[in-house]
């Protein structure tokens, strides 16, 4: 039996299956479909023709626009129909045609999306992804399975991110880019193949990073990618020098972490 708050507004032509949990002040428009294992937090709004299915939880204040499908089965040949989950935080907006899949049993069974994210029309989050907070995915962005997107990342329209790839905090990926390798925090990547083209200085400035710190991060970036050694060796060599700069340490920790993908650079994947 469903648990529906008295303050919820559900259109007579919507379908809310038995078992769903509907919070306070939720609005469900005509022709919406809410599955039996869905939990909608307070103040969620589902606009006409949107679908929330699977074992999916939407946090407070989320909005789902027409033709979006949130919580669909993973698009994986390895999925055998197991019950897996999608967990979405608060204040996320899913515009028209967005699709977000649940996880796969072989990898923990969870897709996780954080708070205050904006997913523009026809963007896609595949199974087992981890999306942080304050992320913007522009129209037609595609995340393959097992992708990690850290906080405050912006992904330009039509870009595609390869499975198991990490995109670091506050990175910027240009439209139509192919992201085949990990992108460092504060990095800027463009093109196909995607190449690092420097730092997301505009994003750092908007986030309140002062000019002196930005210059420090630039020096570290140059040492990492233009030094004589490998990227990882160069990064390890400068750690003590930049120990007092939070942003540089975030980059160095990202580079040092284990990953299934190589690191994007100004040259990796470039033909020549």
Q: What is the pTM of this model?
A: 0.97
Cβ neighbour number for residue 38 with a 10 Å cutoff: 25
Structural domains in the chain plus CATH codes: 3-146 (2.160.10.10), 205-256 (no CATH)
In this structure, what are the phi and psi dihedrals at residue 66, rounded to the nearest 5 degrees? -55, 140
Q: pLDDT tens across 17-43, in order?
A: 999 999 999 999 999 999 999 999 999
pLDDT in tens, 153-198: 999 999 999 999 999 999 999 999 999 999 999 999 999 999 999 9
DSSP calls for the chain: --EE-TT-EE-TT-EE-TT-EE-TT-EE-TT-EE-TT-EE-TT-EE-TT-EE-SEEEE-TT-EE-TT-EEEEPP--TT--S---EEEE-SS-EE-TT-EEE---GGGTSEEEE-SS-EE-TT-EE-TT-EE-SS-EE-TT-EE-TT-EE-TT-EE-TT-EE-TT-EE-TT-EE-TT-EE-SBB-TTEEEETTTTEEEEE-HHHHHHTT--HHHHHHHHHHHHHHHHSSS-HHHHHHHTTTTTTT-HHHHHHHHHHHS--SS-B--SSTT---
> pLDDT, tens digit, for every residue of 67-121?
999 999 999 998 999 999 999 999 999 999 999 999 999 999 999 999 999 999 9
Which residues are catalytic, by number?
Answer: 127-128, 145
């Amino acid at each position: 039996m469903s648990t529906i708050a008295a303050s919820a507004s559900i259109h007579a032509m919507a379908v809310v299956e038995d078992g769903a949990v509907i919070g306070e002040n939720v609005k469900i428009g005509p022709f919406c479909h809410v599955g039996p294992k869905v939990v909608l937090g307070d103040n969620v709004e589902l606009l006409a023709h949107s679908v929330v299915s699977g074992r999916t939880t939407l946090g407070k204040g989320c909005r789902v626009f027409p033709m979006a499908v949130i919580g669909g089965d993973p698009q994986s040949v390895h999925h055998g129909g197991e019950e897996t989950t999608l967990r979405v935080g608060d204040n996320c907006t899913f515009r028209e045609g967005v699709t977000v899949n649940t996880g796969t049993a072989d990898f923990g069974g969870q897709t996780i999306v954080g708070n205050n994210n904006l997913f523009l029309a026809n963007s896609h989050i595949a199974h087992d992804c981890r999306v942080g907070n304050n992320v913007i995915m522009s129209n037609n962005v595609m995340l393959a399975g097992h992708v990690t997107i850290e906080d405050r990342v912006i992904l330009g329209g039509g870009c595609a991110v390869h499975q198991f790839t990490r995109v670091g905090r506050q990175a910027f990926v240009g439209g139509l880019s192919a992201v085949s390798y990990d992108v460092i925090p504060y990095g800027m990547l463009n093109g196909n193949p995607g190449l690092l083209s420097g730092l997301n200085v505009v994003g750092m400035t908007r986030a309140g990073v002062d000019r002196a710190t930005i210059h420090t991060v630039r020096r570290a970036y140059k040492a990492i990618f233009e030094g004589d050694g490998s990227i990882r060796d160069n990064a390890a060599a400068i750690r003590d020098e930049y120990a007092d700069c939070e942003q540089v340490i975030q980059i160095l920790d990202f580079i040092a972490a284990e990953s299934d993908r190589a690191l994007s650079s100004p040259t990796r994947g470039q033909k020549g």
